[in-house]
Amino acid sequence: MSGRLCYLVIASAAALSLFGADREFIPYDSVKAILPADLHIAGAAQWVAWCQRQDKAIRARLDEGDLDSLANLLLLGASFTTQPRLPMDQITEASKAGVLRARVDDLVAGLHNPGDNERLLFVRGLLRRQGIDPDGFQDPRQPGVFLYNNLLRALKERISLGERVAEAEKLMHPGDPSSLLNRSSAFRDRGVSLDTGIMPDFLIEQTLRDLKKRGVLREGQVARIAVVGPGLDFIDKNEQYAYDYYPQQTLQPFALYDSLARLGLGKDNGLSVSVLDISSRVIEHIRGARERAAKNAAYVVQLPRDVSRPWPAELIAYWKSLGDHVGISVPPIRPPEIFPGLETRAVSIRPEVVRACEPIDLDIVVERLNLAAGERFDLMVGTNIFVYYDAFQQTLALENAGAMLKPGGLLLTNDRLPEVPGGPMRLAGITAVAKDAAVGWYQKQ
């Protein structure tokens, strides 16, 4: 390691820790002028009570997201069956051919004998929380019936959601980058899923590259960064990114670190990454990785690519380089034969980079970290997150982000967020990454 790459070594993890920062609800004085009349909130005590209810309701949506992931696993998983995968639009034909029934039977059998398959072990716990015996001792039909009913629920929701997304897409115009942020609150009442993949990380690197070119970010400027809701790769709803043959992993904290290193935007004396999330699964996953990293164990990420699906040249180049500034390439896990056209690579993330990523339980909608001026973030990233909230919740999230950013600090997101008149955050610009994708940069005034 030499030159600028040496800044990746964290000199003092304790000095960069934010665990000591107080977590607080967004203050009433910050929002009383913008409160919707139908909330009927007349003072600070009522506001705190509302925030508590909101936080509880938002966190409850994680369970609904887990059930959505279960439906995706049933249709697209390959770790428990040799049956062909079933995209949502092929379910009717697959049901007639008996493939859906076979996948249900195979998943039920897998739940009976999960071995060390962490996804099946998680599903067993998920079914128990729903009052279902995964072993079927009480009623052998019960697990299978639940899987069918959960899939039917997910299908109905997907149809309704598709109509809403179609309405939002009418507001998007490829020639107008700003319109690409107009996804509004399409997922505002559905479960909060932990889906993640390489595409958001590609969007962020291209945006960082643009910000450097424009002079908005300078070399060596960024020291403290935060990632809001990085996700956990359980299995994606999109067949192109849906894989379950490797262990669950998170990617965005390491990918962002990697991009800042590649572009020379990080400070020479260290970089810290705060992972802000409401999911105990994400928090515990990163904590476990940090504990292993403290014993000098690396964190390996798997990066499959379906070569039968066309990717733009820039995305392929990013895929080939991802991780080369935070780790080294290692032999990837061999995928099952069901994926004949899969090109794979894997990266072993260095322990010091893993240790620099600190998970913090925080609900960005109603909570903020009470940070001293010198501890605030230079950069925050939140992709595919704010689309889960309604307009007022998005407004609160933007205000909370502003409270945690340094003056001039940036929040990068692929959603348009409502700005408060006179508030600290403003949409300073937009980077169009592709004809159908853009990232907005909100700046602290």
Give exposure, 86-120, as e/b (b: 16+ Cβ within 10 Å): bebebbeebeeeebbeebbebbbebbeebeebebb
Q: Are residues 281 and 409 in the same domain?
A: yes
Residue 390 Cα to chain centre, angstroms:
18
Q: Are residues 142 and 266 in the same domain?
A: no
What are phi and psi for residue 216, nearest 5 degrees? -70, -40
Position 162 scores a pLDDT of 67
Q: Domain end: 137, 152, 169, which one?
A: 169
What confidence tens digit (pLDDT) does each residue in 272-323 have? 999 999 999 999 999 999 999 999 999 999 999 999 888 999 999 999 999 9
Tell me the three state secondary structure of residue 46: helix
Q: Are residues 85 and 205 in the same domain?
A: no
Q: How many domains does the chain have?
A: 2
What confidence tens digit (pLDDT) does each residue in 206-218 have? 999 999 999 999 9
Secondary structure E strands in 95-249: 224-228
Q: Are residues 147 and 263 in the same domain?
A: no
Asked whether residue 217 is assigned to any structural domain, the reply reads yes
Asked whether residue 152 is assigned to any structural domain, the reply reads yes
Please indicate, yes or no, whether the overall pTM of this predicted structure exceeds 0.95.
no
Q: Domain end: 137, 169, 201, which one?
A: 169
What are phi and psi for residue 213, nearest 5 degrees? -60, -35
Q: Are residues 126 and 220 in the same domain?
A: no
Successive 10-residue mean pLDDT values, the chain, 445 residues: 36 41 91 93 96 96 93 95 89 90 96 95 96 89 94 86 65 67 67 87 98 97 97 89 94 97 87 96 97 97 93 95 96 91 95 96 97 96 93 96 98 94 93 89 96
Strands 405-413 and 377-382: parallel
User: What residues make up the domain containing 393?
Assistant: 178-444
Asked whether residue 8 is assigned to any structural domain, the reply reads no
Q: Domain end: 149, 169, 189, which one?
A: 169
> CATH no. for residue 394?
3.40.50.150
